[in-house]
Structures are given as C-alpha cells and as structure tokens.
C-alpha cells in the first residue's frame, strides 16, 4: 500500500482522525470520545479513545498502523512538557514518525495553508495557538485566565442570573431564558442543577446554553451584550499575545488569524463580531480568515507537510473535496 498520512484532532467532546494519501485524498475517517488526558476519566482512557478513532479510520482505508508515514497528533491537554512526554511514551511503539502538539495548532492550516499565523478556536472551550515565520510556536494552554468558548459564555451567564436573583446585579432576559432552555422553572432550580453534589449538570450540558446567551445579546439584552463583548475582547487579547510571542507582529506586515469553532463560526456570531472589532488593536495588520475546513483536516495537512508532501492547490482541493460529510464531525 502507498504511504498514508494521519491527522488527529482530540478534544473533550470528541476525537476525530483522518487518513490521507500523498495526493490529499481522504481514504478513511474515524471518531471516538474524549481524547484529552485532563478531561477523560483517566489518561489511559484518553489514549484508548485516540487509538480507537485512528484504528477506525485505518480500517475504513483498508490499512494498518504500519502504513502511516507520518502522523500529526493535535491533542487537547498537551499543555506542559510532561503532557507531551506522556503522549510520546504512549505512542512510541505505535507511530514512530509523528508530531505531538496542542489541538490549537490544528486550525491554523484550516484558513492559512502555509501554517504561519494565529488560530483562535472557540468551541466548548477556547484554544489559541500560533506559528511564527521562523517556526516558533506558542499556545495558550493554561495561560488563559478567562473562561472562553461556549463554557465561558455559560459561566458568565450563570453568574449574571444568580446575581440578578439576589438583587445584586442587573435584570436580564437570561433570568427566564436560561432555566427555560433546560426545561427548569426558576433560577433556583438552575443553580441547584449546576452545583448539586449528585447528578449535577456536566460541562457539556452547561455549555449547551451558549446559543441562548448569544441570541439574547443579538436581541439587545444589555447583560448578554456585555458578556459577549467581553468574550470577544478576551479572545482578541490572547491572540495578540500569541502573535507577539511567535514574532508574527515584528515585521509589521499582514498576520493571518484563523477563526474556528462553533462559537465563532455560527451564523452572524456576535462573539466573532466582538473579537474582530477588537483584533486590529491587538494585532496590527491582522487578516482574519474564517476556517474553511474542520480542525482534523488541518491536522492532516500538518501530517502531509511534515511528512514531506508539498501542499499544492491540487492537494488542498483534493483533501477538501474528499472530506467525510459534515454530520460525521458534528459534536
């Protein structure tokens, strides 16, 4: 069999893997559960999920692990050197030719094929990563001091309705909208469900109200507007840090900033609008790009590039044209 190239995007909501040949043709796809060593029930469970997605993709391609010429692992939870070391040991005997990085890097090539630029992904959580012109890398990891993504919106909305209920905050349409979203009758019931010792809402369930927050902001609720604008500022601010740390702003030229993730890619996203309004102040010369591919496709392009395959227009077009259906990658 011809050499294959493997891209993996592992997060908390899912892990996805794609297998491509040297022409960019996707030959197999697989998905599984949480591949984040911080978010899974154990690090070993995260490894098992990542390998399950890979094996499903290889089986669909009629291939084996031995056929993989290069694998690009883009994994949530690769935040410190010991995290990378853990994965290096876990994968050493399985995929000898590989790179292991935080999942934030997967999105860069989804809007900037050169792989040089900043990626700002806001899905359930947020991941920000950058690659400079000389190859310098930086990702936000645990440096982020603000809750961002859908979960960040949920946390701030939850705080706002509780303060309003106590008479310590402004009235907001979220007071009725949030409980209604979860088929609850009051803020008190919402507070109980979010915080009780047994049977409490999961992080994913909490994040599920993000669209309620953005809808309230779009409708003009002042509290929701403030939450959304703060989220946009935070995302732009950390993107600016990433650009500076990797030398992207040093030359004074254009800087590609790739937006991805459900919060930023939603139609008429007020979070994206807020971020884009703040971006020029944080990254002079910023050129925003909406992601045209799912993050796992960006990881696959990394695998091809790192494996010595030139990312020509033909390769990019073939990969985009042979991706699995959108429903395959939906959370």
The model's pLDDT over 65-109, given as tens digits with 9 standing for 90+, comes to: 999 999 999 999 999 999 999 999 999 889 999 999 999 999 999
Tell me which residue of 126, 157, 308 sits closest to 227, measured CA to CA. 157
pLDDT tens per residue, range 238-262: 999 999 999 999 978 999 999 999 9
Distances (CA, A) of 224 to 128, 145, 173, 212, 271: 24, 20, 8, 9, 11
CB-neighbour burial class of residue 252 (10 A; exposed 0-12, middle 13-18, buried 19+): exposed
145-154 pLDDT, tens per residue?
Answer: 999 999 999 9
Residue 106: which of 131, 76, 74 has the closest Cα? 74
| Domains in the chain, CATH or no CATH each | 4-111+293-329 (3.30.420.40), 114-291 (3.30.420.40)
User: Above 70 in pLDDT, residue 155?
Assistant: yes
Q: Distance between CA atoms of 157 and 190, rounded to whole angstroms?
A: 12
Q: CA-CA distance, 35 to 53, in Å (whole number)?
A: 10
Q: Is 70 exceeded by the pLDDT of residue 233?
A: yes
């Amino acid at each position: 069999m011809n050499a294959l190239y493997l891209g993996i995007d592992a997060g908390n909501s899912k892990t996805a893997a794609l297998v491509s040949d040297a022409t960019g043709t996707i030959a197999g796809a697989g998905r599984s559960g949480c591949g984040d060593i911080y978010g899974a029930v154990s690090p070993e469970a995260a490894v098992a999920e990542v390998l399950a997605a890979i094996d499903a993709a290889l089986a669909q391609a009629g291939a084996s692990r031995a056929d993989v010429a290069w694998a690009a692992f883009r994994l949530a939870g690769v935040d410190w050197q010991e995290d990378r070391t853990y994965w290096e040991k876990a994968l050493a005997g399985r995929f000898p030719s590989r790179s292991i990085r935080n999942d934030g890097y997967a999105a860069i090539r989804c809007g900037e094929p050169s792989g040089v630029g900043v990626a700002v992904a806001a899905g359930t959580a947020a991941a920000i990563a950058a690659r400079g012109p000389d190859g310098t890398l930086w990702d936000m990891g645990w440096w982020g001091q603000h809750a961002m993504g859908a979960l960040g919106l949920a946390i701030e909305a939850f705080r706002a309705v509780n303060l309003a209920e106590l008479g310590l905050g402004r009235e907001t349409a979220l007071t009725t909208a949030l409980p209604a979203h979860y088929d609850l009758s009051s803020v008190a019931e919402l507070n109980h469900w979010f915080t009780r010792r047994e049977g409490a809402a999961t992080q994913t369930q909490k994040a599920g109200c993000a669209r309620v927050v953005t809808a309230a902001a779009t409708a003009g609720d002042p509290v929701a507007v403030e939450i959304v604008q703060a989220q946009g500022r935070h995302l732009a601010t950390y993107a600016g840090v990433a650009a500076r740390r990797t030398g992207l702003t040093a030359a004074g030229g254009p800087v590609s900033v790739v937006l991805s993730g459900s919060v930023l890619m939603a139609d008429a996203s007020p979070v994206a609008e807020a971020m884009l309004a703040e971006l020029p102040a944080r990254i002079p010369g910023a050129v925003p790009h909406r992601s045209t591919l799912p993050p796992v496709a960006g990881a696959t392009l990394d695998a091809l590039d790192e494996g010595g395959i030139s990312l020509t227009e033909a390769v990019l077009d073939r990969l985009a044209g042979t991706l699995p259906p959108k429903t395959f990658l939906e959370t």
